[in-house]
Copies of this chain bind each other. A is one copy, B any other.
Amino acid sequence: MSQATTTLTPADLISRFTDMLGPVGVLTGESDTAAYCTDWRDLYHGRALAVLRPASTRELAGIVRLCAAHGVPMVPQGGNTSMVGGATPDDSGHEVVVCLSRMNRVRNIDPHDLTMEVEAGVTLKAAQDAAREAGFMLPLSISSEGSAQIGGVLATNAGGNNTLRYGNARELVLGLEAVMPDGAVFHGLRRLRKDNTGYALRQLLIGSEGTLGFITTAILQLHPRPRAIEAVLCAVDDAGAALRLLGLLRGRDPALVQAFEYMSGTGMDLVTSLIPGATLPLGERAPAYVLVELATPRPDADLREYAEEILGEALEDGIITDAVIAESEGQRAALWKLREEHAEAQRQAGASVKNDVSVPVTHVPALIDRATAACAALVPGIRAAPFGHMGDGNIHFNLVQPEGMAPEAFLARSHDIMDTVAAIVKELDGSFSAEHGVGQLKPYMMPQWRGGAELAAMRHIKAALDPHNIMNPGKVLPPATQGA
């Protein structure tokens, strides 16, 4: 891919940007741009020619046309919450960061279509709140939802806790407006449940991590709010038993299962020993746990009775060994705290290595057993603490250093550990990035995992839609010298 070269000086470009966006729309001083040039994990430190903050699709299209004409690379940014450096510029100082946070209106909620129309700069949390105030639910929830913005959430096809019930971000999008790499506007802001008129550009843009265009506005599907929720913590002997529990629950009625989160005994031990106020509400420590959340919008569905019945059956059949149902909203929060403090407890326990992987649901027990054993063989005393969205086959396979080991010595093994886990994931037909995407952290993995015809097609599409490689260059696709 060739990169057009600019014929304007940096000062000329900035002056043109300022003409288009006004001074409020253009940041150039280092103190103003610094926060946009580093990712929150502090993995990447770039520089930017400017940070541009258009206030409308029209303004955005104008600057994209200018950038296209002069070969200026653009890095889209929303809440800057990427786990993989997907929104951070390189250190050349030639790139502009384009932040859509000023486009932050919830435009419309339609109670018949069950849709909402939101601009890219609305935070996920604000979108959830707007839906809730209108009596509905936007069923997409991720840890970073207070900062993450809709544009980035869709560009990365975010997942989260409720995917097994409501789908990934992809499944919740009915329509999109986007600015393409040449500045043309794709007017796909449709609210149609059925529309077979050509290629699925919407789907292509979702998950492309800003490398094919800017998502500016979206039509999202809403659901009615749950009127009954039951959260249950179950003790199980192993991941195989957890899989049987999932089968039981989904076989009975998958529409009632809103979350199914696996936690290892090791991980739970860290949480209960290190996090103040985190206590296990079960009689005994177990080898593993599952946090199940059942929910229904029916007010009259006797969900509690249903939960008790199915748990009784699971106990009787030896699928679970113990269970506790939250009796109040406070108890429900306490159960979720056990799950949500896993990352923090691991941080306190020392150095750790994280793997956001997925496998077919059937293979989760094999993944957990084999990767735990392989890592223990590699680093004796290593604490494998896998947890996460088992209902989606998505496990955060995290490994905490052995007690007493020097963190540096452990981290020196991190590539060995990651390779060991990855090899098992690959054997089980899994993915090296379930939720977090590729960004600039993982393009090197693409040739081995998605090589051949798949990567070739991705490269052809990228070159066709962004021939000058100015949309978020260096993200997702590895350099042409690497792989097919």
In the assembled complex, the Cα of A429 lies from the Cα of B113 at a distance in Å of: 13
Smallest CB separation, A172 vs chain B (Å): 11
Decide if B431 touches A187 in the complex (CB within 8 Å): no
Smallest CB separation, A361 vs chain B (Å): 5
In the assembled complex, the Cα of A433 lies from the Cα of B436 at a distance in Å of: 35
Interface residue ranges of A179-207 to B (CB < 8 Å): 180, 184-188, 190-201, 203-204, 206-207
Interface residue ranges of A131-163 to B (CB < 8 Å): 156-157, 159, 163
The number of chain A residues with a CB under 8 A from chain B is 95
A318 within 8 A of B: no
Decide if B454 touches A465 in the complex (CB within 8 Å): no
Q: Which B residues are in CB contact (< 8 Å) with A186?
A: 452-454, 457
If A190-B431, A453-B184 touch, whether A254 touches B297 (CB-CB below 8 Å) is yes
- The segment from A2-10, A334-342, A389-397 that touches chain B is A389-397
In the assembled complex, the Cα of A188 lies from the Cα of B306 at a distance in Å of: 38
Contacting A438 at CB < 8 Å: which of B113, B196, B394, B450? B196
Decide if A431 touches B393 in the complex (CB within 8 Å): no
If A460-B465, A465-B460 touch, whether A157 touches B196 (CB-CB below 8 Å) is yes
Decide if B201 touches A457 in the complex (CB within 8 Å): yes
Smallest CB separation, A244 vs chain B (Å): 9
Residue from A112, A204, A247 having most chain B Cβ neighbours under 10 A: A112
If A195-B431, A223-B254 touch, whether A188 touches B436 (CB-CB below 8 Å) is no
In the assembled complex, the Cα of A283 lies from the Cα of B23 at a distance in Å of: 71
A446 within 8 A of B: yes
Decide if B358 touches A188 in the complex (CB within 8 Å): no
A38 within 8 A of B: no
In the assembled complex, the Cα of A187 lies from the Cα of B450 at a distance in Å of: 8
A470 within 8 A of B: no
A89 within 8 A of B: no
Supply 29 A–B pairs (Cβ within 8 Å), ascending by A: A112-B243, A112-B247, A113-B362, A113-B393, A114-B254, A114-B361, A159-B196, A163-B194, A168-B194, A170-B203, A180-B453, A184-B452, A184-B453, A186-B454, A187-B453, A191-B362, A192-B360, A193-B358, A197-B438, A198-B207, A199-B204, A200-B207, A204-B204, A223-B254, A253-B297, A255-B255, A301-B301, A461-B465, A464-B464
Q: Which B residues are in CB contact (< 8 Å) with A430?
A: 192
Residue from A112, A195, A394 having most chain B Cβ neighbours under 10 A: A195
Q: Which B residues are in CB contact (< 8 Å) with A358?
A: 192-195
A97 within 8 A of B: no
Decide if A204 touches B207 in the complex (CB within 8 Å): no
In the assembled complex, the Cα of A119 lies from the Cα of B399 at a distance in Å of: 40
In this complex, what residue of B is CB-closest to A460? B464
Q: Which B residues are in CB contact (< 8 Å) with A171?
A: 167, 171
Decide if B438 touches A112 in the complex (CB within 8 Å): no
Q: Which B residues are in CB contact (< 8 Å) with A463?
A: 464
Decide if A208 touches B199 in the complex (CB within 8 Å): yes
Q: Which B residues are in CB contact (< 8 Å) with A212?
A: 199
Q: Which B residues are in CB contact (< 8 Å) with A254?
A: 114, 223-224, 297
In the assembled complex, the Cα of A458 lies from the Cα of B203 at a distance in Å of: 13
Write out, one digit per residue, whether chain A residues 26-52 have a CB within 8 A of any chain B CB (1) or not (0). 000000000000000000000000000
